[in-house]
Amino acid sequence: MSRRPLASPRPRSTNALALLLSLTLAGAHGRADDELDFASARGVNEGHLRFLATAPVRVPHHHQNRIVIDADSLATGWVGLVQCHDHLDAVPRTQITFRDDHVRDLRVEHFENIDSARVDGASVQLIGIQRGARLCLSAETRALHDRGDGIWVLQNGPYLRRFLDGYYPMRVSLQVEYPVALMTAIDVSPVPQPGVVIETQAGAVRLDTLFEGELTTRIQFQRK
């Protein structure tokens, strides 16, 4: 979260696999809530991805995605998305952004303890975020890439929680549902480790991770 007016996102690679779904959270205007422990800023993460085996004392922002792949997705790349945010940092302003050409039908479905939540192009602008804030969105995202050899790749991110030049703990949960009659999951990244839990079953992949820095997730599927 930032005390300065929202700035344009830093330039990133335009590779389709690298940024199929982008999320950026940054605050602006005024003093952020003490959920961000600025007193310990000297030890803050400066961008290196680090998974956390132990949860921080303060409950971090929890970003949850449910992605649904159907038969049409295999041809078009568009998948259904329901996204919720809990424990948002209490700041005057913040935004959630997606790539312009990879999101459509973006809607705010629910919010609480937030003064205002509105869609602005490929972003959701939030004003007056308070303790206990919750936000849920829905959209379609062009997040599935057909490699052309019977392999599809679903890549999401980067996910990050940044204040000024520092990165703070964030939890990301991802549930991906896919047509088991047409494809099967063959690889998930990041791999299971302290701070990363992955569950797979026919037709679904679930990932839950706690980290600092910037996280990108990648799931590969094979045609049946």
What is the structure's pLDDT at 157? 86
Provide the pLDDT for residue 44: 66
Give the model's pLDDT for residue 34: 47
More confident position, 85 or 41: 85
**Amino acid (one-letter) located at 201:** Q
Give which of 111, 108, 67, 107 is closest to 88, Cα–Cα.
111
- Widest Cα–Cα separation across the chain: 53
Mean pLDDT computed over every residue of the chain? 83
Q: Burial letters for 198-216: b for 16+ Cβ neighbours within 10 Å, e otherwise?
A: beeeeeebbbbbbbbbbbb
Tens digit of each residue's pLDDT (9 = 90 or more) over 108-159 = 999 999 999 999 999 999 999 999 999 999 999 999 999 999 999 999 988 9
- Across the range 189-216, mean pLDDT stands at 96
**Residue 177 confidence (pLDDT) above 80:** yes
Output 1 or 166, whichever has higher pLDDT: 166
Query: 2.40.128, 3.30.70, 2.60.40, 3.90.70: which CATH number matches 25-29+55-223?
Result: 2.60.40
Instruction: Give the pTM.
Output: 0.80
Residue 143: CA atoms inside 13 Å, Cβ hemisphere, count? 30
In three state form, how does the secondary structure of 55-107 look?
Answer: CCCCCCEEEEEEEECCHHHHHHCEEEEEEEEECCCCCCEEEEECCHHHEEEEE
Tokens 């790349």 sit on residue? 77
Could you tell me the residue ranges of all domains in the chain? 25-29+55-223
Tell me the per-residue pLDDT of 66-77, one tens digit each, with 9 for 90 and over. Answer: 999 999 999 999
Lowest-confidence segment of 102-106, 142-146, 160-164 by average pLDDT = 160-164
- Cβ-contact 224, 167 below 8 angstroms: no
Tokens of 35: 């959920």
Determine the Cα–Cα distance for residues 61 and 51; give it in Å rounded to an integer.
Answer: 15
Residues 139, 107 contacting (CB under 8 angstroms): yes
* pLDDT band per the 50, 70, 90 thresholds, residue 4: very low
Is the pLDDT reported for residue 25 higher than 80? no
